[in-house]
Chain A
Amino acid sequence: MTALRERALVLLDSTPSLPRHVRIQFDPVRQAYAVLSPERVFWPDEISLDILRRCDGRTSVGAMIADLTAEYDAPEDEVAGDIMTFLQEWADRLLVRP
Chain B
Amino acid sequence: MSEALLPPIGMLAELTHRCPLQCPYCSNPTELMKANRELDTETWLYLFRQAADLGVLQVHLSGGEPTLRRDLEQLIAGLSSHGVYTNLITAGVGIAEGRIEAFAEAGLDHVQLSFQGAHAETTERIGNHRGGHQKKLETARRVRAAGLPLTINAPIHRHNIGEVPDFIELALSLGAERLEIANVQYSGWALVNRDALMPDRDAVERQMEIVGQAQERLRGILNIDFVTPDYFAIYPKPCMGGWARDAFMVAPDGTVLPCHAAHTIRSLTFERFGDRSLAEIWTDSPAFNAFRGTDWMQEPCRGCERREIDWGGCRCQAMAIAGDPAATDPACVKSPVHARMGMLIDDALASARAEKAAGNPPEESFIYRRIAATTQLA
Question: Given the complex, which residues of A lie within 8 Å of B9, measured CB to CB?
Answer: 41
Known: A8-B220, A41-B9. A30 touches B55 (CB 8 A): yes
The answer on a CB contact under 8 Å between A21 and B175 is no
Known: A1-B172, A7-B220. A20 touches B149 (CB 8 A): yes
Question: Given the complex, which residues of B lie within 8 Å of A5, measured CB to CB?
Answer: 172, 221-222
Question: Given the complex, which residues of B lie within 8 Å of A23, measured CB to CB?
Answer: 85, 109
Question: Given the complex, which residues of B lie within 8 Å of A36, measured CB to CB?
Answer: 57-58, 85, 109
Question: Given the complex, which residues of A lie within 8 Å of B110, measured CB to CB?
Answer: 21, 38
Q: Which among A19, A38, A91, A94 has the greatest number of chain B C-beta atoms within 10 A? A: A38
Docked Cα-Cα span, A23 to B107, in Å, equals 13
Known: A30-B7, A38-B110. A94 touches B223 (CB 8 A): yes
Q: Which residue of A lies closest to B149 (CB)?
A: A21
Q: How far is the CB of B224 from chain A (nearest CB, A)?
A: 11
Q: Which residue of A lies closest to B217 (CB)?
A: A2
The answer on a CB contact under 8 Å between B172 and A4 is yes
Q: How far is the CB of B181 from chain A (nearest CB, A)?
A: 14
Mask, A77-93, CB within 8 Å of B = 1, is 00000000000000111
A6 at the B interface (CB under 8 A): yes
Contact partner of A1 (CB less than 8 A), chosen from B85, B109, B169, is B169
Question: Given the complex, which residues of A lie within 8 Å of B169, measured CB to CB?
Answer: 1-2
Mask, B212-248, CB within 8 Å of A = 1, is 0000000111110100000000000000000000000
Mask, B134-151, CB within 8 Å of A = 1, is 000000000000011101
Docked Cα-Cα span, A38 to B58, in Å, equals 9
Docked Cα-Cα span, A19 to B223, in Å, equals 14
B376 at the A interface (CB under 8 A): no
Count of chain B residues with Cβ under 8 Å from any Cβ of A? Answer: 30
Interface residues in B151-193 by Cβ distance below 8 A to A read: 151, 169, 172-173, 175, 177-178
B87 at the A interface (CB under 8 A): yes
Q: Which residue of B lies closest to A1 (CB)?
A: B173
B344 at the A interface (CB under 8 A): no
Question: Given the complex, which residues of B lie within 8 Å of A8, measured CB to CB?
Answer: 220
Docked Cα-Cα span, A36 to B223, in Å, equals 16
The answer on a CB contact under 8 Å between B149 and A38 is yes
The answer on a CB contact under 8 Å between A92 and B219 is yes
B323 at the A interface (CB under 8 A): no
Mask, B6-46, CB within 8 Å of A = 1, is 01011000000000000000000000000000000000000
Docked Cα-Cα span, A27 to B6, in Å, equals 14
The answer on a CB contact under 8 Å between B149 and A19 is yes
Interface residues in A26-57 by Cβ distance below 8 A to B read: 27, 29-30, 34, 36, 38-39, 41
Known: A30-B7, A41-B57. A25 touches B83 (CB 8 A): yes
Q: Which residue of B lies closest to A98 (CB)?
A: B220
Mask, A1-19, CB within 8 Å of B = 1, is 1101111100000000001
Q: How far is the CB of A18 from chain B (nearest CB, A)?
A: 12
Please list the 6 inter-chain residue pairs (A to B) with the smallest Cβ-Cβ separation, ordered nearest first: A7-B220, A21-B149, A29-B55, A36-B85, A92-B220, A38-B110
Of the A-B pairs whose beta carbons lie under 8 Å apart in the complex, a sample of 28, sorted by A's number, is: A2-B169, A5-B222, A7-B221, A19-B177, A20-B109, A20-B147, A20-B148, A21-B109, A21-B110, A21-B177, A25-B57, A27-B57, A29-B7, A29-B54, A29-B55, A30-B7, A36-B85, A38-B151, A38-B177, A39-B151, A39-B178, A39-B225, A41-B85, A91-B220, A93-B223, A94-B178, A94-B220, A94-B222
